[in-house]
Amino acid sequence: MKVGVIVFPGSNCDHDAYHVLKSVVQQEVVFLWHQDRDLQDVEAIIVPGGFSYGDYLRCGAIAKFSPIMDSLRAHAAAGGPVLGICNGFQILQEAGLLPGALLRNANLKFLCQDVYLRVEQTNTPFTLDLNKNKILRIPIAHNDGNFFLPEKQLENLEENGQVIFRYVDSNGGDSVTGNPNGSVNSIAGIVNSQRNVIGMMPHPERASEGILGSNDGLSIIQSMIRSLDRVKN
Protein backbone atom coordinates (compact mmCIF):
# COMPACT_ATOMS: atom_id res chain seq x y z
CA MET A 1 0.00 0.00 0.00
CA LYS A 2 1.18 3.52 -0.75
CA VAL A 3 0.28 6.37 1.61
CA GLY A 4 0.82 10.09 1.15
CA VAL A 5 1.59 12.52 3.98
CA ILE A 6 0.86 16.15 3.07
CA VAL A 7 3.45 18.74 4.10
CA PHE A 8 2.41 22.36 4.66
CA PRO A 9 4.62 25.21 5.86
CA GLY A 10 4.38 24.77 9.62
CA SER A 11 3.58 21.05 9.65
CA ASN A 12 5.49 19.42 12.51
CA CYS A 13 4.02 15.92 12.74
CA ASP A 14 4.61 14.94 9.13
CA HIS A 15 7.82 13.06 9.90
CA ASP A 16 6.15 11.31 12.83
CA ALA A 17 3.46 9.95 10.52
CA TYR A 18 6.05 9.06 7.87
CA HIS A 19 8.13 7.14 10.43
CA VAL A 20 5.19 5.08 11.66
CA LEU A 21 4.09 4.20 8.14
CA LYS A 22 7.56 3.35 6.82
CA SER A 23 9.39 1.91 9.82
CA VAL A 24 6.68 0.57 12.12
CA VAL A 25 4.06 -0.85 9.74
CA GLN A 26 6.50 -1.03 6.79
CA GLN A 27 4.39 0.51 4.05
CA GLU A 28 5.42 2.63 1.08
CA VAL A 29 4.99 6.30 1.99
CA VAL A 30 5.70 9.60 0.24
CA PHE A 31 5.57 13.24 1.25
CA LEU A 32 3.11 15.37 -0.74
CA TRP A 33 4.18 19.02 -0.93
CA HIS A 34 1.33 21.49 -0.47
CA GLN A 35 2.06 23.32 -3.74
CA ASP A 36 1.90 20.17 -5.86
CA ARG A 37 -1.20 18.56 -7.32
CA ASP A 38 0.22 15.13 -8.11
CA LEU A 39 -0.84 12.57 -5.47
CA GLN A 40 1.74 10.09 -6.84
CA ASP A 41 -0.83 7.28 -7.01
CA VAL A 42 -1.26 7.04 -3.23
CA GLU A 43 -4.13 4.96 -1.90
CA ALA A 44 -4.61 6.88 1.35
CA ILE A 45 -3.73 10.35 2.58
CA ILE A 46 -2.77 11.65 6.01
CA VAL A 47 -3.08 15.36 6.77
CA PRO A 48 -0.74 15.71 9.76
CA GLY A 49 -0.67 17.94 12.79
CA GLY A 50 1.26 21.15 13.26
CA PHE A 51 0.64 24.82 12.64
CA SER A 52 0.03 25.15 8.89
CA TYR A 53 0.90 28.66 7.73
CA GLY A 54 1.50 29.57 11.38
CA ASP A 55 -2.24 29.27 12.13
CA TYR A 56 -2.64 32.80 10.78
CA LEU A 57 -6.23 34.02 10.39
CA ARG A 58 -7.56 30.76 11.82
CA CYS A 59 -6.24 27.21 12.09
CA GLY A 60 -6.35 25.65 8.63
CA ALA A 61 -7.91 28.72 7.00
CA ILE A 62 -4.99 29.32 4.62
CA ALA A 63 -4.02 25.68 4.10
CA LYS A 64 -7.39 24.93 2.51
CA PHE A 65 -6.34 27.03 -0.52
CA SER A 66 -3.18 25.00 -1.22
CA PRO A 67 -3.15 23.32 -4.67
CA ILE A 68 -2.78 19.85 -3.10
CA MET A 69 -6.22 20.28 -1.52
CA ASP A 70 -7.95 20.14 -4.91
CA SER A 71 -6.37 16.74 -5.47
CA LEU A 72 -7.27 15.64 -1.94
CA ARG A 73 -10.91 16.59 -2.53
CA ALA A 74 -10.96 14.49 -5.71
CA HIS A 75 -9.35 11.58 -3.87
CA ALA A 76 -11.96 11.80 -1.10
CA ALA A 77 -14.83 12.14 -3.58
CA ALA A 78 -13.68 8.89 -5.21
CA GLY A 79 -13.86 7.13 -1.84
CA GLY A 80 -10.17 7.28 -0.97
CA PRO A 81 -9.34 7.19 2.77
CA VAL A 82 -8.23 10.48 4.35
CA LEU A 83 -7.10 10.92 7.96
CA GLY A 84 -6.73 14.42 9.38
CA ILE A 85 -4.88 14.60 12.70
CA CYS A 86 -5.08 17.69 14.94
CA ASN A 87 -4.25 20.58 12.56
CA GLY A 88 -5.14 18.16 9.77
CA PHE A 89 -8.63 17.88 11.29
CA GLN A 90 -8.87 21.68 11.34
CA ILE A 91 -7.80 21.86 7.69
CA LEU A 92 -10.40 19.29 6.61
CA GLN A 93 -13.11 21.30 8.36
CA GLU A 94 -11.99 24.55 6.75
CA ALA A 95 -11.96 22.78 3.38
CA GLY A 96 -15.58 21.68 3.87
CA LEU A 97 -14.73 17.98 4.00
CA LEU A 98 -15.85 17.58 7.61
CA PRO A 99 -18.56 19.41 9.57
CA GLY A 100 -18.16 21.60 12.62
CA ALA A 101 -15.49 23.91 13.96
CA LEU A 102 -12.65 23.55 16.45
CA LEU A 103 -12.68 26.43 18.92
CA ARG A 104 -10.19 27.48 21.58
CA ASN A 105 -9.86 25.01 24.42
CA ALA A 106 -12.32 25.69 27.21
CA ASN A 107 -9.52 26.64 29.63
CA LEU A 108 -7.89 28.85 26.97
CA LYS A 109 -4.60 26.98 27.42
CA PHE A 110 -2.50 24.80 25.15
CA LEU A 111 -2.95 21.17 26.22
CA CYS A 112 -0.29 18.48 25.86
CA GLN A 113 -1.23 15.31 27.70
CA ASP A 114 -2.49 11.76 27.34
CA VAL A 115 -6.24 11.34 27.01
CA TYR A 116 -8.57 8.37 26.88
CA LEU A 117 -10.80 7.72 23.88
CA ARG A 118 -13.72 5.36 23.48
CA VAL A 119 -14.27 3.82 20.06
CA GLU A 120 -17.84 4.65 19.08
CA GLN A 121 -18.01 3.30 15.52
CA THR A 122 -16.10 0.57 13.71
CA ASN A 123 -17.48 0.91 10.18
CA THR A 124 -14.75 3.21 8.87
CA PRO A 125 -11.39 2.42 7.25
CA PHE A 126 -9.57 3.62 10.38
CA THR A 127 -11.61 1.74 12.96
CA LEU A 128 -12.58 -1.40 11.07
CA ASP A 129 -10.30 -3.63 13.14
CA LEU A 130 -11.15 -2.04 16.50
CA ASN A 131 -13.79 -3.22 18.92
CA LYS A 132 -16.66 -0.89 19.74
CA ASN A 133 -16.26 0.67 23.21
CA LYS A 134 -12.54 -0.15 23.25
CA ILE A 135 -10.58 2.43 25.28
CA LEU A 136 -7.44 3.94 23.74
CA ARG A 137 -4.80 6.07 25.47
CA ILE A 138 -3.45 8.61 22.99
CA PRO A 139 -1.85 12.07 23.49
CA ILE A 140 -3.24 15.44 22.48
CA ALA A 141 -1.28 18.62 21.74
CA HIS A 142 -3.49 21.53 20.75
CA ASN A 143 -4.78 24.97 21.58
CA ASP A 144 -7.93 24.83 19.44
CA GLY A 145 -9.49 21.42 19.92
CA ASN A 146 -12.89 22.31 21.32
CA PHE A 147 -15.25 20.66 18.82
CA PHE A 148 -18.46 22.58 18.19
CA LEU A 149 -21.49 22.04 15.99
CA PRO A 150 -24.92 23.71 16.20
CA GLU A 151 -27.54 21.63 18.00
CA LYS A 152 -29.54 20.40 15.00
CA GLN A 153 -26.42 19.45 13.03
CA LEU A 154 -25.01 17.82 16.15
CA GLU A 155 -28.13 15.67 16.45
CA ASN A 156 -27.75 14.59 12.82
CA LEU A 157 -24.07 13.79 13.36
CA GLU A 158 -24.92 11.56 16.33
CA GLU A 159 -27.90 9.91 14.63
CA ASN A 160 -25.82 9.11 11.54
CA GLY A 161 -23.13 7.45 13.64
CA GLN A 162 -20.48 9.93 12.54
CA VAL A 163 -18.88 10.31 15.97
CA ILE A 164 -16.11 7.72 16.00
CA PHE A 165 -14.06 8.72 19.05
CA ARG A 166 -15.24 10.25 22.31
CA TYR A 167 -13.22 11.55 25.26
CA VAL A 168 -13.73 9.50 28.42
CA ASP A 169 -12.04 9.09 31.78
CA SER A 170 -9.47 6.39 32.52
CA ASN A 171 -12.25 3.95 33.37
CA GLY A 172 -14.00 4.54 30.06
CA GLY A 173 -16.82 6.54 31.63
CA ASP A 174 -18.34 9.81 30.49
CA SER A 175 -17.20 12.63 32.76
CA VAL A 176 -16.24 16.29 32.69
CA THR A 177 -12.70 15.42 33.78
CA GLY A 178 -12.32 13.10 30.79
CA ASN A 179 -13.10 15.91 28.34
CA PRO A 180 -9.91 18.02 28.25
CA ASN A 181 -10.94 20.82 25.90
CA GLY A 182 -14.69 21.22 26.39
CA SER A 183 -15.74 19.58 23.12
CA VAL A 184 -19.51 19.27 22.76
CA ASN A 185 -20.66 15.71 23.57
CA SER A 186 -16.99 14.95 24.36
CA ILE A 187 -16.33 14.47 20.64
CA ALA A 188 -12.71 13.66 19.79
CA GLY A 189 -13.07 12.37 16.24
CA ILE A 190 -15.66 12.27 13.46
CA VAL A 191 -16.17 10.84 9.98
CA ASN A 192 -17.91 12.29 6.93
CA SER A 193 -21.23 10.92 5.71
CA GLN A 194 -19.44 8.75 3.11
CA ARG A 195 -17.34 7.32 5.99
CA ASN A 196 -13.95 7.65 4.30
CA VAL A 197 -12.72 11.03 5.63
CA ILE A 198 -11.86 11.12 9.33
CA GLY A 199 -10.70 13.93 11.58
CA MET A 200 -9.40 13.48 15.11
CA MET A 201 -7.62 15.77 17.56
CA PRO A 202 -5.53 13.13 19.41
CA HIS A 203 -2.31 11.95 17.75
CA PRO A 204 -2.27 8.21 16.94
CA GLU A 205 1.19 8.54 15.36
CA ARG A 206 2.55 9.60 18.75
CA ALA A 207 1.20 6.44 20.36
CA SER A 208 2.30 3.81 17.88
CA GLU A 209 5.33 2.34 19.66
CA GLY A 210 5.66 0.95 23.16
CA ILE A 211 8.74 3.08 23.83
CA LEU A 212 6.47 6.15 23.64
CA GLY A 213 4.35 4.89 26.53
CA SER A 214 1.42 3.62 24.47
CA ASN A 215 0.94 1.88 21.15
CA ASP A 216 -2.85 2.25 21.14
CA GLY A 217 -2.69 4.58 18.16
CA LEU A 218 -1.07 1.91 16.02
CA SER A 219 -4.38 0.07 15.74
CA ILE A 220 -5.84 3.04 13.85
CA ILE A 221 -3.02 3.00 11.27
CA GLN A 222 -3.14 -0.79 10.97
CA SER A 223 -6.89 -0.68 10.43
CA MET A 224 -6.39 1.67 7.48
CA ILE A 225 -3.87 -0.72 5.93
CA ARG A 226 -6.03 -3.80 6.42
CA SER A 227 -9.14 -2.09 5.09
CA LEU A 228 -7.33 -1.25 1.85
CA ASP A 229 -5.93 -4.77 1.63
CA ARG A 230 -9.47 -6.13 1.90
CA VAL A 231 -10.62 -3.91 -0.94
CA LYS A 232 -7.78 -5.25 -3.13
CA ASN A 233 -8.55 -8.83 -2.29
Catalytic residue among 86, 94, 120, 142: 86
Alpha carbon distance, N-terminus to C-terminus of the chain: 13
Strand-pair partners of 28 = 2
Distance CA(111)–CA(148), nearest Å, equals 18
13 has catalytic annotation: no
Of 34, 40, 44, nearest to 1 (Cα)?
A: 44
The one catalytic residue in 34, 75, 142, 203 is 203
The active-site residue out of 43, 94, 120, 205 is 205
Q: Apex CA 36: angle with CA 35 and CA 38, to 5°?
A: 160
Q: Active site includes 159?
A: no
Strand 82-85 and strand 146-148: pairing?
unpaired
Residue 44: enclosing H or E segment and its boundaries? Answer: strand 44-47
209 is catalytic: no
Q: Among all residues, which ones are annotated catalytic?
A: 86, 203, 205
